Amino acid sequence: MTPESLGLFRANLRGELIQPADAAYEAARKVYNGMIDKHPTLITRCVDVADVVYAVNFARENSLLVAIRGGGHNGGGLGTCDGGLVIDLSRMKGVHVDPAARQVRVEGGCVWGDVDHATHAFGMAVPCGFVSTTGVAGLTLGGGIGYLTRAYGLTIDNLLAADVVLADGRLVRASNEENPDLFWALRGGGGNFGVVTSFLFRLQPVKIVHAGPTFWPLAQAADVMRAYRQFILDAPEDVNGFFAFLVIPPVPMFPEHLHNKTVCGIVWCCTAPPEKAEAALKPMRTFAKPVFDHVGPMPFTTLQSLFDGLYPAGLQWYWRADFVRDLSDPAIALHVEHGSQLPTMFSTMHLYPINGAAHRVGKNDTAYSYRDASFAEVIVGVDPDPANKDKITNWCTSYFDALHPYSAGGAYVNFMMEEGQERIRAAFRDNYDRLAAIKKKYDPANFFRVNQNIRPAT
Ligand SMILES: Cc1cc2nc3c(=O)[nH]c(=O)nc-3n(C[C@H](O)[C@H](O)[C@H](O)COP(=O)(O)OP(=O)(O)OC[C@H]3O[C@@H](n4cnc5c(N)ncnc54)[C@H](O)[C@@H]3O)c2cc1C
């Protein structure tokens, strides 16, 4: 990299180019997870596809490591790097809804709140996650698990096309019709194949949902888990709810006597009509006496942003995950043992149901392979204080180690830290070799390697 080449790069950009000496650098280098402390050499905040093309070409010609940043939410901090170029898409926020076609085109720097806001006005939504501040790009490219998974599938099951800047600087479209191998790989294979500048999604009819939390005392956790495992596998697909161990936050929404109490609970989201939802949830909500039960109609956008305030950017964040086929009794006993010991108020364990519509797609139809798993488990150690880093990490890893033998073998890539090649192979299992062959075709030099990396086939 010479001053001339850098000057030319800067002159070509419409967006910003930020270097360590710039006032904006400290804020620009930070990602959502406060545990990540990386120092890129350059950060470019692209405003359009041309900026992305210039950035990719500049990095390739100057042998710079590249990290792609969508929403910056990745737990392992894969939206940044030490000593390379961060291609930050956070200024690319366009969302174009086509209500008649029931489609939405979303630029690569959007977070889900941007999309929810735009589509809610038309009574529609893209199946996304559980938090509105997560990036569309990273979440989608890993699969996309959320409140609407049982009803409408993973986010990738609603992806129609993506525009991608490849390692050689070409812009291509990936869809069932154009570059279908790339389209297959993008649906679960993460940021391995290029910079996605926009996504085209199918919209689903979702506006008001029947939703909210039901909490039970810890003493009932084993009974609740046993009831939940069967309930959620048999429930109608328009009924969803994830199981959690959590500490009730001291906020006015909850009665004071429950503040800071560790409980277990289910957070519901039903797209079924209210009477049907009430009838479907009744057996779970009444089988044991909850300490808090607050389920009713609310806009989908409200549900999506319910946890945003609790989890602002900058907290220390360490998580481990696995896919799970069955919740056996011994696994439930271990969950109760470790879930009762949440180390901080923000720490939690979630079990997301991933059956229903997501099971109707074959395990080799997209790069996301675990279509036979019923739950995505994620053990989350979180705290604002960096001094508690070891405390949350140790709790998280010992919980994970205890439960891993009961898992399906691999984890959802979006819930992984940097855990090594063996874990990456386990995440993609029988789809790994096909992904490696597609990686070789589209990125033979492994230019895009700051990710859950799929090595090009040799
Ligand atoms: C609070 C919180 C809640 C979450 N909730 C959910 C949830 O409900 N459901 C779920 O499925 N996941 C969830 N996740 C996990 C989330 O999907 C991943 O962390 C994901 O990586 C975040 O995407 P991002 O764009 O914000 O990440 P970034 O940190 O910006 O990027 C992560 C990786 O994605 C790739 N990437 C990002 N943008 C692009 C792009 N435009 N083109 C190509 N590759 C790109 C890159 O390889 C990068 O390494 C959550 C994470 C957090 C922290």
What is the position in ligand 1's atom list of the atom closest to the CA of 154? 11
Q: Which residues line ligand 1 (CB under 6 A)?
A: 31-32, 68-75, 78-79, 89, 108, 129-131, 134-135, 137-139, 141-142, 144-146, 190-191, 195-196, 311, 414, 450-451
* Minimal-distance CA residue to ligand 1 atom 46: 191
Q: For residue 347, what pLDDT is reported?
A: 98
Q: For residue 63, what pLDDT is reported?
A: 97
Q: For residue 286, what pLDDT is reported?
A: 86
* Minimal-distance CA residue to ligand 1 atom 7: 129
pLDDT by residue (tens digit) across 367-419? Answer: 999 999 999 999 999 999 999 999 999 999 999 999 999 999 999 999 999 99
What is the position in ligand 1's atom list of the atom closest to the CA of 145? 11
What is the position in ligand 1's atom list of the atom closest to the CA of 130? 8
Report CA(141)–ligand 1 centroid distance (Å): 8
SS3 annotation, the chain? CCHHHHHHHHHHCCCEEECCCCCCHHHHHCCCCCCCCCCCCEEEECCCHHHHHHHHHHHHHCCCCEEEECCCCCCCCCCCCCCCEEEECCCCCCEEEECCCCEEEEECCCEHHHHHHHHHCCCCECCCCCCCCCEHHHHHHHCCCCCCHHHHCCHHHHEEEEEEECCCCCEEEEECCCCHHHHHHHCCCHHHCCEEEEEEEECECCCEEEEEEEEEEHHHHHHHHHHHHHHHHHCCCCEEEEEEEEECCCCCCCCHHHCCCEEEEEEEEECCCHHHHHHHHHHHHHCCCCCEECCEEEEHHHHHCCCCCCCCCCCEEEEEEEEECCCCHHHHHHHHHHHCCCCCCCCEEEEEECCHHHHHCCCCCCCCCCCCCCEEEEEEEEECCHHHHHHHHHHHHHHHHHHHHHCCCCCCHHHCCCCCHHHHHHHHHHHHHHHHHHHHHHCCCCCCCCCCCCCCCC
> Can you read off the two tokens belonging to residue 199?
């996504």
What is the position in ligand 1's atom list of the atom closest to the CA of 31? 29
What is the position in ligand 1's atom list of the atom closest to the CA of 78? 49
Q: For residue 360, what pLDDT is reported?
A: 96
What is the position in ligand 1's atom list of the atom closest to the CA of 74? 19
pLDDT band with cut points at 50, 70 and 90 for residue 287: confident
pLDDT by residue (tens digit) across 211-263? Answer: 999 999 999 999 999 999 999 999 999 999 999 999 999 999 899 999 999 99
Please, what is the average pLDDT of the chain? 97
Q: For residue 288, what pLDDT is reported?
A: 86
Report CA(255)–ligand 1 centroid distance (Å): 34
- Please work out, in degrees rounded to the nearest 5, the angle formed at the alpha carbon of residue 451 by the alpha carbons of 445 and 452: 100
- Whether the pLDDT of residue 333 is over 90: the answer is yes
pLDDT band with cut points at 50, 70 and 90 for residue 295: very high
- 374 phi-psi bin (left φ>0, alpha ψ -120 to 50, beta other): alpha
Report CA(414)–ligand 1 centroid distance (Å): 6
Full-model pTM: 0.97
Report CA(282)–ligand 1 centroid distance (Å): 35
Report CA(289)–ligand 1 centroid distance (Å): 37
Q: For residue 385, what pLDDT is reported?
A: 97
